[in-house]
């Protein structure tokens, strides 16, 4: 009986060592030393069992073998796993209120936790912390030590001032506020053609120059896009230090010389539900549209696919299939993909689209994946296409992009551009084709801020292209891209 009890303990500890990995990824965070302690306990129990009791030869072989496999899986699954303690595969909690006060010690612990996550996961840190990052980190630690208390937004500013020097648009820190409130008039103003010129007597350009270090970006247009989003929510204007004596005064301009001011207190900002109700006539059309949709203009022989997010799922693949089926049935000669405002997601949406084009293979991005102290390299520069032969489209392809086309949306445009498969219209996407991405997301313990950390480094599909960005073939402002497309295809 005693032997059976010890054997059960050996088996349970061996299984527990492996089981801690999915437990961490899917349920709850805990430090790596928990795995190491469990592995040590499993090893000791295994040794005690084999030395204490008479066992069959099969048990003498199987138990150590299972232990070795368990140790390998658990150690690699924790120490070399970029998603260890991340919230990629489980819901994150809401961030603490942006104006909640943290102690200096809590703030420094959150900053230190952020740096540990970055050092473990980011490819740039494989051989140690870059000098410029270390310099800004120490400066931030010093400032936090001098302050007895600091707000969540103050901490976000400190962390972001460190991250911004990395030149990686994907590695950033942000909040998740379920009770966020917004300026109620934004949708109406934009619909009526108003343009924001300044806040509290400071021009938008001046605000950007002073605060761009508070954002992670590779292209300034992406920093401007992020900052613009912060202009119109209460946590954002507080983050940017734009509340003056309890007031936020927006200056709008519709045409030269015609300006209007709007003044708001914190109580004048409205919840998302109220915002939608106030702006129902301006938002309804967009809300009822799926993340992927298409229309066919028979007169212009054009199929226009609108992709607001890069989601590679059944809805996307079904939509593509249905569109290209109609394109073939109606003899449509042109297909355009609108990626304006698409913040990215899964890059496989681009690969799926290419299956409808008559190409045997295409250039794709290469890169390397940081796995703890390891770097897994992918040097495959071309990918074999698997076209849908019955729906192959041989007509003209256009892609519309702007500064807020980011990450996987940029890769979509990159594949079309670098493989000479179509024409890009609009603005250059918001990040560089050779850079970092594929993020792990961590929640800081005291503030609840969400830290996004790149785990991969990417290199452009077209290795001979010297352009820093995926430049459009026909440059124009984002709002004009569709008109330019119609002008390009003519009658």
Q: Partners of 166 in the beta sheet? A: none
Confidence (pLDDT) at 228: 95
Domains of the chain, earliest start first: 2-79 (no CATH), 105-285+446-452 (no CATH), 289-433+469-489 (3.90.226.10)
Burial (0-12, 13-18, 19+ Cβ within 10 Å), 440: buried
Confidence (pLDDT) at 284: 58
Mean per-residue pLDDT, 171-180: 95
Token pair for 290: 């799926």
Which pLDDT tens digit goes with each residue over 106-144? 999 999 999 999 999 999 999 999 999 999 999 999 999
Which pLDDT tens digit goes with each residue over 396-442? 999 999 999 999 999 999 999 999 999 999 999 999 999 999 999 99
Do 406 and 342 meet the contact criterion of CB atoms below 8 Å apart? yes
Secondary structure letter of residue 243 according to DSSP: -
Whats the size of the chain, residue-wise? 491
Q: Name the residue with higher pLDDT: 285 or 339.
A: 339
H-only helix segments in 147-252: 152-163, 186-191, 204-211, 220-231, 234-239
Q: Quick check: 105 pLDDT over 80?
A: yes
Token pair for 436: 């970092």
Query: Average pLDDT, whole number, for the chain?
Result: 93
Mean per-residue pLDDT, 73-83: 94
- At 258 the three-state DSSP class reads strand
Which pLDDT tens digit goes with each residue over 447-485? 999 999 999 999 999 999 999 999 999 999 999 999 999
Confidence (pLDDT) at 285: 52
pLDDT-derived band of residue 63, with 50, 70 and 90 as boundaries?
Answer: confident
Do 21 and 85 meet the contact criterion of CB atoms below 8 Å apart? no
Angle ∠(470,422,337) on CA atoms, nearest 5? 85
Confidence (pLDDT) at 48: 86
Angle ∠(77,79,82) on CA atoms, nearest 5? 75
Do 459 and 411 meet the contact criterion of CB atoms below 8 Å apart? no
- What is the rounded CA–CA span in Å between residue 339 and residue 470? 13
The sign of the CA dihedral 359, 365, 366, 369 is negative
């Amino acid at each position: 009986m005693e032997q059976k009890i010890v054997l059960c303990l050996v088996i349970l500890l061996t299984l527990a060592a492996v089981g801690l990995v999915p437990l961490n990824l899917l349920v709850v965070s805990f430090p790596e030393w928990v795995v190491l302690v469990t592995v040590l306990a499993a090893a000791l129990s295994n040794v005690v069992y084999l030395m204490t009791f008479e066992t069959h030869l099969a048990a003498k072989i199987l138990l150590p073998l299972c232990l070795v496999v368990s140790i390998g899986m658990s150690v690699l699954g924790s120490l070399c796993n970029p998603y260890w303690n991340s919230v990629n595969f489980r819901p994150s909690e809401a961030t603490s209120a942006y104006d909640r006060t943290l102690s200096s010690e809590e703030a420094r612990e959150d900053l230190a936790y952020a740096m540990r996550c970055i050092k473990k996961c980011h490819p740039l840190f494989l051989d140690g912390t870059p000098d410029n990052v270390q310099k800004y980190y120490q400066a931030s630690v010093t400032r936090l030590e001098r302050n007895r208390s600091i707000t969540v937004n103050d901490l976000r500013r400190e962390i972001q001032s460190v991250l911004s020097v990395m030149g990686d648009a994907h590695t950033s820190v942000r909040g998740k506020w379920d009770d966020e409130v917004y300026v109620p008039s934004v949708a109406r103003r934009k619909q009526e053609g108003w343009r924001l010129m300044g806040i509290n007597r400071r021009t938008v350009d001046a605000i950007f120059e002073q605060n761009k270090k508070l954002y992670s970006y590779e292209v300034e247009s992406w920093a401007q896009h992020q900052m613009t989003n912060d202009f119109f929510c209460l946590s954002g204007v507080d983050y940017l230090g734009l509340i003056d004596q309890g007031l936020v005064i927006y200056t709008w301009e519709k045409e030269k010389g015609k300006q209007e001011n709007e003044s708001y207190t914190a109580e004048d900002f409205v919840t998302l539900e109220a915002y939608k109700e106030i702006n129902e006539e301006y938002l309804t059309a967009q809300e009822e549209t799926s993340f992927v949709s298409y229309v066919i203009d028979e007169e212009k022989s054009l199929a226009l696919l609108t992709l607001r997010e890069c989601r590679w799922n059944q809805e996307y693949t079904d939509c593509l299939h249905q569109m290209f089926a109609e394109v073939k049935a109606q003899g449509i000669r042109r297909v355009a993909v609108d990626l304006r405002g698409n913040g990215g997601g899964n890059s496989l949406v681009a690969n799926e689209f290419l299956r409808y084009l008559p190409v045997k293979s295409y250039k794709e991005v290469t890169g390397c994946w940081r796995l703890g102290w390891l770097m897994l390299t992918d040097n495959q520069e071309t990918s074999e296409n698997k076209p849908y032969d019955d729906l192959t489209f041989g007509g003209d392809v256009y892609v519309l992009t702007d500064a807020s086309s980011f990450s996987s949306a940029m890769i979509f445009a990159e594949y079309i551009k670098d493989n000479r498969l179509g024409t890009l219209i609009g603005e250059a996407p918001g990040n560089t084709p050779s850079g970092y991405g594929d993020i792990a997301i961590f929640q800081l313990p005291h503030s609840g801020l969400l830290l996004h950390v790149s785990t991969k480094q990417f290199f452009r599909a077209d290795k001979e292209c010297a352009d820093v960005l995926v430049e459009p073939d026909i440059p124009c402002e984002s709002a004009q891209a569709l008109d330019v497309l119609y002008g390009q295809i003519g009658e």
